[in-house]
């Protein structure tokens, strides 16, 4: 697929899926279900699919970011991670609120314990995305969740840095299959102007993890000394138990792709699944499963759009992962809050982020636009980051945290929808989901490197990098918008066809 290949766009006269109306010229087959029956089918899909994927993503996000919570609970001291680039370290002295750099003069502190999660997380995403289609999401996703639950429990018994890093690598391998698999699965079930709200709810449930993980970790820390285990160990052990329980629920309730979801337990029947496939076909012509070939899977790599979407996601996750990993530390060392306050004050900004996220998704789906939402959220970050990093008073800095967390996190589902709306074909969708989330993992690596403990308490290089990422998002979206509008004008004039079919249009 080339950059010049236009993509199908739903005609503006067709209603959104939650307000389902039959097309003006419906076929007899499409009249099988009344509008009310269609709405009930979609509600059942939302309840099972979005809820279960979001719940497991909540655990996934909590499990990959709990390292910072464990760090302030004593992990770095007990496992001797405060030197040799092993972890960012706690950038404050244990007995006072002053920054104490422990950098060696020759090396910048690189957060290896954080970084090593992302190396396999990036590398294993393409094959994992193929496997989810081959094996099926119910078995595949529930199995990797229950397996990483065991690894997480094992982390609670790690005795040294080597064991910790090894377990983090294994966790990265397993989690590589989850997020891109869910992005792919969700995009296969919903039409283009219904998908951002579903992505938002899916990701919003994950934000609940970010909001509550600090409070949960603070509560689990209180088990310090029980059965001879430190508080940070209990964080990993009990969160691992929770993850295992969610994995079992996913095995029971998670559903398959639309073409074979009739086999899922107590879900849709064959006629209802066929209705969903028809709607996807009417919307973007890729509702049916395509036979796999490596050439077909890799062909989208020649399309610059795929890499533009991925680069936007890289910029976003550089900011979101930095916040997830280092916000408790910034609150602790930069703003002077104690450990409990630092962990609990993480929650309110994510509540605000959820409101901004769903509002943007509703506007984007209603008015059939994606790029302007991305730009608006990036501007929120551009305002919030200087307040968070450079203002003098804690009240102003904490207000900046609200804007930064909201803008960065609200843009995650916006970018996912932007990408999902502008690709066609099952394996193109699989490849683009893998590259999108893979670049997101690279953003996680970048975030672990730009926020260095020698820069505390203001972390100016990290703040500058985050600002640059949001400026780059705006530039990429503006350039893409100009190009896609040009392609759409040509499509409207009938100058472009795809394999003999009528021209299709991009979503801007």
Judge whether 146 lies within some domain. Answer: yes
How many domains would you assign to the chain?
Answer: 1
Q: What is the Cα–Cα distance from 67 to 500, expressed in whole angstroms?
A: 53
In a domain, 99, yes or no: no
Q: CA-CA distance, 10 to 256, in Å (whole number)? A: 25
Summary mean pLDDT of the chain: 83
Within a domain: 460: yes
Q: What pLDDT band is residue 453 in, cutting at 50, 70 and 90?
A: low
Q: C-alpha angle 370/16/195, rounded to 5°?
A: 45
Question: According to the model, what pLDDT value does residue 445 have?
Answer: 82
Residue 91 has pLDDT above 80, yes or no: no
pLDDT at residue 357 is higher than 70? yes
CA–CA dist 497, 487 (Å, integer):
11
Residue 235 counted as domain residue = yes
For 170, 201, 283, the CA distances from 15, given in Å and listed in that order, are 45, 20, 11
Domain assignment of residue 422, given as a range: 45-90+104-492
Whether the pLDDT of residue 273 is over 80: the answer is: yes
CATH number where 364 lies: 1.20.1250.20
- Tell me which DSSP letter residue 501 carries: B
pTM: 0.81
Strand partners, 501: 498
Higher per-residue pLDDT: 289 or 186 = 186
Q: Is the pLDDT of residue 108 over 70?
A: no
Distances (CA, A) of 298 to 51, 55, 121, 136, 431: 31, 31, 19, 21, 7
204 within domain boundaries: yes
- In three-state form (DSSP H/G/I as H, E/B as E, the rest C), the secondary structure along 22-60 is CCCCCCCHHHHCCHHHHHHHHHHHHHHHHHHHHHHHHHH
Mean pLDDT of 478-484: 95
Which band of pLDDT confidence, cut at 50, 70 and 90, is reported for residue 66?
confident
What digits encode the pLDDT tens for the residues 378-403?
A: 999 999 999 988 888 889 999 999 99
> Is 37 inside a domain boundary?
no
- Tell me what pLDDT residue 435 has: 94
* Structure token digits, residue 460: 């100016």
Which has the closest alpha carbon to 342: 351, 354, 330?
330
Q: Report the pLDDT averaged over residues 30-57.
A: 90
Tally of CA atoms within 13 A in the half-sphere of 272 that contains its CB: 18
To 5 degrees, how large is the angle CA 407–CA 412–CA 415? 110
Residue 476 has pLDDT above 70, yes or no: yes
Q: Is residue 248 part of a domain?
A: yes
Q: Which residue has the tokens 């919570």?
A: 69
- Residue 467: inside a domain: yes
Least confident of 28-32, 76-80, 271-275: 28-32
Percent of the chain scored above 90 by pLDDT?
Answer: 52
Q: What is the pLDDT of residue 47?
A: 94
Higher pLDDT, residue 90 or 346: 346
pLDDT of residue 10: 40
Rounded to whole angstroms, how far apart are CA atoms 55 and 248?
A: 12
d(CA 192, CA 417): 8
């Amino acid at each position: 697929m080339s950059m010049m290949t236009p993509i199908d766009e739903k005609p503006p006269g067709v209603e959104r899926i939650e307000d389902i109306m039959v097309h003006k010229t419906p076929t007899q087959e499409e009249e099988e279900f009344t509008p009310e029956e269609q709405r009930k089918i979609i509600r059942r899909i939302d309840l099972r699919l979005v809820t279960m994927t979001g719940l497991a993503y909540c655990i996934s996000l909590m499990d990959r970011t709990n390292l910072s919570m464990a760090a302030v609970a004593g992990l770095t001291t007990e496992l001797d991670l405060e030197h040799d680039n092993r972890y960012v370290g706690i950038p404050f002295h244990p007995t006072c609120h002053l920054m104490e750099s422990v950098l060696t003069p020759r090396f910048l502190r690189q957060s290896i314990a954080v970084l090593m999660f992302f190396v396999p997380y990036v590398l294993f995403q393409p094959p994992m995305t193929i496997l989810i289609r081959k094996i099926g999401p119910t078995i595949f996703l529930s199995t990797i969740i229950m397996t990483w639950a065991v690894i997480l429990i094992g982390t609670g018994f790690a005795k040294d840095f080597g064991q910790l890093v090894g377990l983090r690598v294994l966790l990265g391998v397993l989690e590589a299959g989850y997020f891109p698999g869910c992005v792919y699965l969700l995009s296969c079930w919903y039409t283009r102007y219904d998908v951002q709200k579903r992505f938002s709810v899916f990701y919003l449930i994950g934000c609940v993890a970010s909001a509550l993980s600090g409070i949960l970790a603070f509560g689990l820390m209180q088990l310090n000394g029980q059965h001879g285990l430190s508080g940070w160990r209990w964080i990993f052990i009990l969160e691992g138990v929770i993850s295992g329980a969610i994995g079992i629920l996913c095995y029971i309730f998670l559903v398959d792709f639309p073409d074979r979801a009739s086999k899922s337990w107590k879900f849709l029947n064959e006629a209802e699944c066929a209705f969903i496939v028809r709607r996807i076909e009417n919307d973007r012509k890729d509702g049916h499963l395509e036979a796999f070939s490596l050439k077909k899977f890799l062909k989208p790599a020649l399309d610059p759009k795929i890499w533009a979407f991925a680069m936007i996601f890289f910029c976003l996750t550089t900011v979101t992962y930095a916040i997830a990993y280092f916000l408790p530390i910034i609150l602790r060392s930069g703003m002077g809050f104690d450990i409990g306050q630092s962990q609990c004050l993480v929650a309110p900004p994510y509540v605000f982020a959820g409101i901004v996220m769903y509002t943007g998704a509703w506007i984007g789906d209603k008015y059939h636009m994606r790029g302007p939402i991305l730009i608006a959220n990036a501007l929120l970050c551009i305002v919030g980051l200087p307040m968070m990093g450079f203002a003098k008073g804690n009240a102003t800095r904490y207000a900046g945290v609200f804007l930064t967390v909201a803008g960065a996190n609200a843009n995650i589902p916006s970018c996912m929808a932007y990408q999902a709306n502008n690709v066609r074909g099952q394996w193109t969708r699989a490849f683009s989901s893998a590259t999108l989330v893979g670049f997101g993992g690279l953003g996680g690596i970048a975030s672990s490197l730009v926020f260095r403990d020698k820069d505390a308490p203001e972390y100016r290089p990290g703040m500058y990098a985050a600002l640059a990422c949001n400026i780059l998002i705006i530039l990429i979206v503006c350039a893409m918008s100009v190009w896609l509008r040009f392609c759409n004008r040509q499509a409207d004039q009938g100058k472009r066809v795809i394999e003999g079919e009528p021209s299709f249009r991009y979503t801007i």
